[in-house]
Amino acid sequence: MDEFVKYILYFAVVVMAVSMITLYIYGIRKLLEMRNLKRRCICTVEAEVIDIIEIDQKVSRNENRYIKLHSPVYRFFYENEKYEVIEKVKTDYCELYKGDKVELHIDPDDPKIFYCSQMNGRNGAGIALIVIGAVVTILAIDFVVSFILSAS
């Protein structure tokens, strides 16, 4: 195997390793974030969706392409106080509509910290990133092994 091919192989392995590590870190971070929310948000309240905010998210840096993301705004009462909070999870398709009643899990010490169990994707994002990282790991191992075998 000549030197140039070795450097290309090393570069490919480094790029794949960085990608795998990044996917694992973000996936685990998402799962820990949700676990922390579930631990903190122990009170359940009924909330109403009072608005759906639309946000134009730029898809590409080079082109003027945008995608519309949606984020529900909830209103609920806790200990005789009214709260209006915006969902942090923004999706291209919102399953909720204005006027819907939802169940929010709130932090009793800070009711503006919450999660909505009806908004899909919180656990799914973390798991998906870990699965993608595992697939990239398998592909990287297969690539390196087949490359080494073909070069010998």
Coil/strand/helix, residue 32: helix
Q: Angle formed by the axes of helices 3-40 and 122-151, to 10°? A: 160
Is the whole model's pTM more than 0.75, yes or no?
A: no
Percent of the chain at pLDDT exceeding 90: 32
Q: Are 130 and 24 in contact (CB under 8 A)?
A: yes
The long-range contacts involving 86-92, CB below 8 angstroms and separated by at least 24 positions, are: 86/53, 87/116, 87/119, 89/119, 89/121, 89/122, 90/55, 90/57, 91/119, 91/121, 92/67, 92/68
Q: Is the pLDDT of residue 143 over 80?
A: no
Percent of all residues in the chain with a pLDDT value above 70, rounded to a whole number: 93
Q: What is the pLDDT, as a whole number, of residue 109? A: 96
At 75-123, the pLDDT tens digits run: 999 999 999 999 987 887 778 899 999 999 999 999 999 998 877 555 5
